[in-house]
Structure 1
């Protein structure tokens, strides 16, 4: 089954890349920024992968952090791309040029990590719900059809971050907390939101032990230690940026907690609490609406199974008397509860503090999104006619159509350097 998932993931990447190159050849590029950065006087198929944020990652890979606003993009992806370009892909430098080799390295990382992430999501689901291979497979397929297809095949961090995230979550499911913390330390050097994964340690080692009257104080100490390891990538990068830019007498350096990341997000990218709530941003809220709605329905579906359990974080249950049978192997299993809390938190955070349309890419590393979609598709497409109902079938078809149509449209628009981004 795992080999089949890897195969499907690889096929979707080949289709995505093929359609992107064909679109670029026949339609061209609306913006010449990629050609300018690559010093290319004529079209090149690799140009199709250099769009928006990818231009920052390429520049960082080659020159390091020259400009303050570049620090919004974390160093793991550029460093790996540089390493591969200077080792495995070194012979290509004389053929493609150094910049094109860096770009090819970044694209290769993204696509290899995408295939690995699809398999990692399958293994994570099996680790949590060993009796539901059907959901594990459907969820992995949902990941393979993720709407932001080109972002996950270009010089972006989405695929790399998803793979690291899923692997760390699998270690958590297996109670291998140190391994999870170590791999997530790399995740926090790839994207800042990895620091919220520390919540898994506090949930498992402190809260659930407290609920079950176990050694929760010892668990609290362990959770703090694992948290420090997890955020070490983020902290190390902030320390680097402090030394790199504070010699230039920047205003954020005088703050009690001199974090360049917070300053850059507000100063250069306009992020902040409700800062995006402007009339001119209505089209972007419309773009984000499908993922927001899927998230709301997914959370509603989970919560209504045992609302008291969810709202009290396992202190009480509406299943009275509590039965072992309630520990089901479906989407509503209590084994998935902590992931639902993560989903709810990130949904509120994105809607209140970020460029809301980014939710389409931001949620590519969020397993419960795929579990809900996978459960929806399994029920509508993989069950007998007697198990189906009109409402779930319509919902499944709508979600499937959205995944496919948005993905295809996104490939063409991305290739032409056209919004949305």
Structure 2
């Protein structure tokens, strides 16, 4: 049955992506683009070929909002200070693959990069759906896991998973990180095998996630949580004479401290390396030859160019621990505690309300049902019980609930609130688990043709998915407020 489910997930994922591309084309040419007055990466002053015009005609609707930044970084690198808000893995991947395809002379560099971004997202999206299926199976029934993956294929932030955005690759790395941590737990806590150096490769998705998006750092929490669960499980099982037991537990404690130290070094090094890279670019003076269009665009918009520190003397460069990301978010986008709480932003708060309500209400419900007698119970992870679709009766997904709740609260307090939908859709499996739970009856998925018989919750969830899937594409590809 698992093979049949996987085939169905692949087909659904591919079909949903092709539909997004088709609808993007329709809406992009049906609706006039809004003049949002936002960043547009500088283009070369060269005549476009017929094939370049075709690429722009069919896929130009994806080059909106932050996609412009990723195109700029992939083509020119980090030339402006505000670009360091966008982490390097995705644009570096686009740049590298486009260079490998540079033998295709009938396409310009811009067209190649755009097509590479789209193809990468298409392939990664399919793999992400399969990883979500495998992750869900660790805690839920196979059928529940299948429908969770199917719902992911039609998620409310779908347009961002096909556009030159990090949502697709980040969700892949996040779900992969979670799955790898569970696999590590199975190996060590259940089979008591020795720790081997190659097992540290399980941390690779976490490390890559930290140079994909800033909140990738939070994925390290899953590794630390799994270590705590493993430590407590093995610690309790140690038996023997008192002195022998004490010595064994002491060395066990030291080994886990070493694992924590190594894990943090491996996972956080890429993140800190990017911050150091940003410091060397924008906190020092040096000469660099940039394309004329890049320099002209910088002058027109008063952007800070790399290598011009003495001219601007940015405050973050003088901090004890220089962090370009936090400074750029605050300085250029006014990101901070309650900074987005303005009367004119009420429509954006309404836009983000559905996913925040789903997360907060259901996380609260889960905590209420599974409230632990003591904190230690949260670390009593057991993935061996019979797996069902009854998510609120599963006491072993606490780490996902806490993670999802932290992300939701962070969205409400700090970020531009309309980002919440794509932020949560790509950072947590909870939306798909909660949705699958409400769409199922007695371990069977509801009959999608019998809409009149749906409960209010089922109607709300289905309407939410379909509305945001369609309206999100229409808004995004015309520079309307869906960022």
> TM-score surpassing 0.5?
yes
Tell me what 1:413 maps to: 475
Q: Is 1:47 aligned to 2:65, yes or no?
A: no
Task: Work out the CA distance in 2 between the residues paired with 1:314 and 1:291.
Answer: 29
Task: Work out the CA distance in 1 between the residues paired with 2:353 and 2:376.
Answer: 28
Tell me what 2:397 maps to: 336
Tell me what 1:209 maps to: 231
Task: Work out the CA distance in 2 between the residues paired with 1:28 and 1:36.
Answer: 22
Tell me what 1:163 maps to: 172
Task: Work out the CA distance in 2 between the residues paired with 1:378 and 1:327.
Answer: 15
Q: Is 1:302 aligned to 2:361, yes or no?
A: no
Task: Work out the CA distance in 1 between the residues paired with 2:44 and 2:65.
Answer: 14
Aligned 8 A contact 2:147 2:436 in 1: yes
Counterpart selection for 1:183 from 205, 217, 224? 205
Per-residue CA distance 1:213-269 (angstroms, 9 max, x = gap): 454553233123212211222111111001111111321111111111111111111
Task: Work out the CA distance in 2 between the residues paired with 1:35 and 1:232.
Answer: 30
Task: Work out the CA distance in 2 between the residues paired with 1:384 and 1:145.
Answer: 16
Gaps of 5+ in 1: 318-323
Cα distance change on mapping 1:217 and 1:202 into 2, 3 Å: farther
Tell me what 2:182 maps to: 173
Aligned 8 A contact 1:276 1:356 in 2: yes
Tell me what 2:102 maps to: 90
Per-residue CA distance 1:14-51 (angstroms, 9 max, x = gap): 11110111222333433497697476887622211100
Shift of 1:326: 9.5
Cα distance change on mapping 1:101 and 1:328 into 2, 3 Å: closer
Tell me what 2:145 maps to: 136
1:354-393 equivalences under 5 Å are 354-365=415-426, 366-379=428-441, 382=444, 393=455
TM-score, normalised via structure 2 length? 0.78
RMSD: 2.8
1:252-291 equivalences under 5 Å are 252-291=316-355
Shift of 1:82: 0.9
Tell me what 2:215 maps to: 193
Gaps of 5+ in 2: 186-198, 237-251, 285-308
Cα distance change on mapping 1:302 and 1:327 into 2, 3 Å: farther
Counterpart selection for 2:33 from 9, 29, 34? 29
Q: Is 1:312 aligned to 2:375, yes or no?
A: yes
Tell me what 2:76 maps to: 63
Shift of 1:184: 1.4
Paired residue total: 407
Select between 169-178 and 201-210 the one with higher mean Cα deviation: 201-210
Q: Is 1:349 aligned to 2:406, yes or no?
A: no
Select between 339-348 and 196-205 the one with higher mean Cα deviation: 196-205
Task: Work out the CA distance in 2 between the residues paired with 1:283 and 1:331.
Answer: 32
Cα distance change on mapping 1:109 and 1:294 into 2, 3 Å: same
TM-score, normalised via structure 1 length? 0.89
Task: Work out the CA distance in 1 between the residues paired with 2:40 and 2:466.
Answer: 27
Q: Name which one, 1 or 2, has greater alpha-carbon Rg.
A: 2
1:112-151 equivalences under 5 Å are 112-129=123-140, 132-151=141-160
